[in-house]
Structure 1
Amino acid sequence: MGEVLGKVLVVDDDEVIRQLIAVNLNLEGFEVTTATDGQDCLDLVLEVMPDVITLDVMMPCLDGWTTAEKLRTDAATSHIKVVLVTARAQDDDRARGLGIGVDAYLTKPFDPAELIQVVRDLAAGVQRS
């Protein structure tokens, strides 16, 4: 086992997608924790202290928009990189995510290789546009 590239918290209410993301990141050398919705994410984030969070938008209990806003406004979590992974591909959705301050925005269906590269870049501190 090589060195860990970073910690990632994968948040998605769809178990298949959650596992797909988790397995791919794990194989790349990331330490992965999963959460089933936004509230689960907020409950785990301080315990896990991930470098990157992949966050679905459409979830029960607490959606990705609200979760991202809470992460950004809390001094303890505002530095964590956030990738929205969502089926919502409209320009206004993307603008809303960027307005909240998310670091990257991927639309479903996504290319696992692209997701891995985005997470890898963010964990390494590479600036994305």
Structure 2
Amino acid sequence: MKSFPGTTRWTARTVQHAATHTNRRLLVVDDYRPGAESLTTVLSLAGYDAQCVLDGSAALLAVAAQMPDIVVLDINMPGMDGYTVARILRHDVTAQHLVIVAFTAQDERTVRSDGVASGFDAYCQKGAAPGPLLRLLEQIQ
């Protein structure tokens, strides 16, 4: 699996095939509102049907209400962290197919073990331009 600077794929899971006329649904989960909103805007401009929520509980509700294809999930959030959200999604039969990307400022080596164990499929480090995340998302489709 090819990786880009600041990104790594941990599994071979890809987005399930959908009708060609629909944009991929993507959910951004991040407790930092300005970052979540700006990333959602960038992803929308890139052709994704993107929305954002600001915490783990809201993420679970959003997934239940309108199943996304991909979840871009922050790890360090107050209350329910990203590891917990990923584990809950992986145990939900209706959401097991989701591609879950860890989107965190932490180094990949720091989060890899717990990330893989929790059910994340890929990693992208925050703090850079959105290019690496967009290329990673293209790769998992």
TM above 0.5, one fold? yes
1:45 counterpart (56, 63, 69): 63
Q: Distance in 2 between matches of 1:17 and 1:89?
A: 18
What percentage of residue pairs aligned between the two structures are identical?
32
Q: Distance in 1 between matches of 2:61 and 2:81?
A: 14
**TM-superposition CA deviations, 1:37-64 (whole Å, max 9, x none):** 1110001102121000000011122110
Q: Distance in 2 between matches of 1:56 and 1:9?
A: 11
Q: How does 1:1-129 map to 2 (within 5 A)?
A: 3-89=21-107, 91-122=109-140, 124=141
Asked if the contact 1:5–1:120 (Cα under 8 Å) also holds between the matched residues in 2, the reply is: no
Q: By how many angstroms is 1:34 displaced?
A: 1.0
Give runs of ≥4 in structure 1 deviating > 3 Å.
none
Q: Distance in 1 between matches of 2:107 and 2:47?
A: 29
TM-score (norm 1): 0.86
Where in structure 2 are there 5+ consecutive unaligned residues? 1-20
TM-score (norm 2): 0.79
1:127 paired residue number: none
User: How many residue pairs get matched?
Assistant: 121
C-alpha RMSD of matched pairs (Å): 1.4
Q: Distance in 1 between matches of 2:110 and 2:134?
A: 25
Q: 1:119 to 1:90 in 2, by over 3 A?
A: closer
